[in-house]
Structure 1
């Protein structure tokens, strides 16, 4: 890697057509401009790799070189099953690493490989010579994940860790998101809340269900498994469960189910939110349901934090393992409303 050209306030001023004073105030968080101008300055500074003294000091305090002298190569291992949110995750990782002149390679592993085939696959993508490894959620099998855990590379798991896992982890906090969804519905007067979604095939899915049970219990509400829709379902099984349970609200726990749920509810004659409130754990905005009420899952931000965590681990190899959960705010939307008494 060549010598990095230092970006100055003069460079940013010339590119943006703004005064140095305005740019300095924006990056220092001082008033005197519109939020649109402040955001444009921040985006340009980020893209150009400009760091304020405070930002550089903050990175250095964690052992992360703000202006590294050589480029590191990192790998993200994912499955096709998770590409809908891994796009956001990879964006966060790549933006953060490229800011520091490092490189991210994304690789897909959708087969449960034998030991010899796994070794060949690693050699083909030059994984053993990578400087670090990010392991995305929803890999094909536990066996594949354990093989990646066993590699002698610095690594960050982007998922909830298994018990006794000896590695760092960072994850957008779906547990807190479900707790937030239940609490919001209860505060709107709902007591018959039905959970819709897989509760066991992935650790993140199991965490969602655990959160639903715990938060319903916190409010003294019944949440028996028989009152939820947790297996494979279609419009007919949804209708049967709605008639049986008669919920006033639904939490759709899995992103892939949300559009289908709203379509089926419409076909069955349920009006949202007039007849039934719905909160969904969407990975981002849902085009088919633009006003969805939802806890925001900070997937891109998780990528930023995971990149920082792996760079920190490279500089602090003997420090204890850390497990970080990132919670976002609640987006009110238009699909949940107060229950009429």
Structure 2
């Protein structure tokens, strides 16, 4: 049969609850209950916004929970929540307190995330967890992705790589920067932190000519951009400076979403949907086995070279 027909049959079997002996044994080994083992449960995923980034997570959660016989409700945090009192009032009105378990997405406001983590409900974070917090978590591994990005650039003879991205707003952003520093150290690359653009204000407000001038006055031959907004600014700056990609400068982005203007820029494959599916399994495992130690799962994806990386200094 064709590959597309094979995928359709496999997906239909998953949705109808059919399992091979190996799949059933896997659920048993991980102590994950499904609909045949008890009553359907109702879970909520709490998100900071809407859009493709969150839709992939909802799709993964909803599909896996449905296969295992349970239901999912999606809740978006109102933008007006600005402190602990607002967060507590919203929690009481939203119905969160009556759920069987909660999934916490990335980028939640600090007070809201803290309030959710203190609720006496089973929780799984689809994010890197805060320090010293007892909670299960699943995340697409941006640390691994950064190391893959630097490895690729070094394979193309780049030794001076510029990092552009905010390192303060989110835990995942800080980990990108920390992993970039670790990768440079591992590979013996020169690194002066003050030469990199890690201030979000400077990143978005510098005139386009500033980046071009910085590149012409330095030895940088490649750029790693943390998110798509950084790519937009960097590409406009390179164009204004008359620098081509990848002829003059190689560019890699670390965002999960395809850039609408530059879809061919090299990037890691960040497993958003797969992380959500694994989060659903961890939730049911936690409910069935509350005594087990907490788990922090990182899903490592592959890397797409794209058309934005070339050899440094004309090397082949």
TM over 0.5: yes
1:181 maps to 2:140: no
1:237 maps to 2:205: no
Matched with 1:102 is 70
Match of 2:275 among 270, 293, 302: 302
Q: 2:40 and 2:174 mapped to 1: Cα distance?
A: 38
- Correspondences of 1:190-201 after superposition (within 5 Å): 190-201=158-169
Unaligned residue ranges in structure 2 (runs of 5+): none
Q: 1:238 and 1:58 mapped to 2: Cα distance?
A: 52
Q: 1:309 and 1:263 mapped to 2: Cα distance?
A: 43
Cα distance change, pair 117–277 in 1 and its aligned pair in 2 (3 A): closer
1:157 maps to 2:136: no
**Per-residue CA shift, 1:5-28, capped at 9, x if unaligned?**
xxxxxxxxxxxxxxxxxxxxxxxx
Matched residue pairs, number? 307
Is contact 1:255-1:280 (8 Å) kept?
yes
Matched with 1:318 is 291
User: How much has 1:333 moved relative to structure 2?
Assistant: 1.0
Match of 1:284 among 238, 257, 264: 257
Q: 2:213 and 2:41 mapped to 1: Cα distance?
A: 55
Cα distance change, pair 100–208 in 1 and its aligned pair in 2 (3 A): same
Matched with 1:132 is 101
Cα distance change, pair 285–43 in 1 and its aligned pair in 2 (3 A): farther
SS of the equivalent of 1:245 reads coil
Matched with 1:91 is 59
Matched with 1:206 is 174
Is contact 1:194-1:247 (8 Å) kept?
yes
Cα distance change, pair 114–206 in 1 and its aligned pair in 2 (3 A): closer
User: How much has 1:83 moved relative to structure 2?
Assistant: 4.2
Match of 1:78 among 41, 47, 50: 47
Is contact 2:42-2:70 (8 Å) kept?
yes
Q: 1:101 and 1:228 mapped to 2: Cα distance?
A: 49
Is contact 1:60-1:66 (8 Å) kept?
no
User: How much has 1:242 moved relative to structure 2?
Assistant: 2.1
Is contact 1:229-1:238 (8 Å) kept?
no
Is contact 2:250-2:309 (8 Å) kept?
yes
Deviates more, 1:248-257 or 1:152-161: 248-257
User: How much has 1:114 moved relative to structure 2?
Assistant: 4.8
Structure number with bigger Rg = 1
Is contact 2:103-2:125 (8 Å) kept?
yes
SS of the equivalent of 2:35 reads coil
Higher relative contact order (CA 8 A, sep 6+): 2
User: How much has 1:252 moved relative to structure 2?
Assistant: 0.7
User: How much has 1:112 moved relative to structure 2?
Assistant: 4.1
SS of the equivalent of 1:74 reads strand
Match of 1:169 among 111, 114, 137: 137
Match of 1:219 among 187, 198, 204: 187
Q: 1:87 and 1:237 mapped to 2: Cα distance?
A: 36
SS of the equivalent of 2:217 reads helix
Q: 2:113 and 2:152 mapped to 1: Cα distance?
A: 35
**Per-residue CA shift, 1:185-235, capped at 9, x if unaligned?**
001100111001111221101100000001001111112122211122242
Q: 2:100 and 2:262 mapped to 1: Cα distance?
A: 41
Is contact 2:212-2:240 (8 Å) kept?
no
SS of the equivalent of 1:76 reads strand
Match of 2:306 among 322, 325, 333: 333
Deviates more, 1:102-111 or 1:182-191: 102-111
Cα distance change, pair 104–260 in 1 and its aligned pair in 2 (3 A): farther
User: How much has 1:129 moved relative to structure 2?
Assistant: 1.0
Q: 2:301 and 2:261 mapped to 1: Cα distance?
A: 22
